[in-house]
Amino acid sequence: MLQEGAAGADGSYAFTVVPTRKAYFSVVAPATATAGREASPGLLVTVRRKVSIKVSDRTPRKNQLVKFSGFISPSYPLGAGGVATLQRRDKTGAFTNVKAVLLKAAGDYTSYRVRVRLRSPGVYRIAVPSSTYYGSGASVSVVVRVHR
């Protein structure tokens, strides 16, 4: 992707790009009569996958099976690395893995479906690892309130 632009008197510059997948970007100044061609170090810009999440019941009874499902876009490469992870937020605010789920092809998307027996309330999300062309991604967090 090539984009041309001009620098300000102080050397500042700006440009807008909308990458469609993970890429390195750098700025190249052409050679002049007094200086040779110069290039900035490459900067990795990652693009996240969109991950949706749906919960079968946000207020289940204790020990009830709850189904988490959704889609990942663009599609995720299936195979050994084609795994998403259901995560639960702990007391420190970090997410810990609850259960891994295999991904399934669904046209332009990839789908997942995982069932877990919930014993206590919590905040959950689905996370997918990075791949060759995309960075890691996660769904929005959903609150599940378990009652007796």
In whole angstroms, give the CA distance from residue 122 to residue 88: 7
Q: Delimit the domains of the chain by residue range.
A: 50-144
The predicted structure's pLDDT at residue 31:
86
The predicted structure's pLDDT at residue 1:
62
pLDDT confidence bin for 54, thresholds 50/70/90: very high
Closest CA to 97 of 71, 125, 70: 125
Checking if the pLDDT of 27 tops 90, the result is no
Checking if the pLDDT of 55 tops 90, the result is yes
* pTM (whole model) above 0.85: no
For residue 60, whether the previous peptide bond is cis, meaning omega lies within 30 degrees of 0, is no
Closest CA to 123 of 50, 53, 48, 51: 53
The domain 50-144 is placed in CATH, from the list 1.20.1250.10, 2.60.40.10, 2.40.160.10, 3.40.366.10, at 2.60.40.10
124: how many CB neighbours lie within 10 A of its CB? 22
Mean pLDDT of 122-136: 89
Distances (CA, A) of 148 to 32, 118, 142: 75, 11, 20
Distances (CA, A) of 42 to 20, 23, 25, 27, 56: 17, 9, 5, 8, 44
pLDDT tens profile 59-118? 999 999 999 999 998 887 666 567 899 999 999 999 999 999 988 887 788 899 999 999
The predicted structure's pLDDT at residue 116:
96
Query: How large a percentage of the chain has pLDDT more than 90?
Result: 43
Comparing 9 with 143, the larger pLDDT belongs to: 143
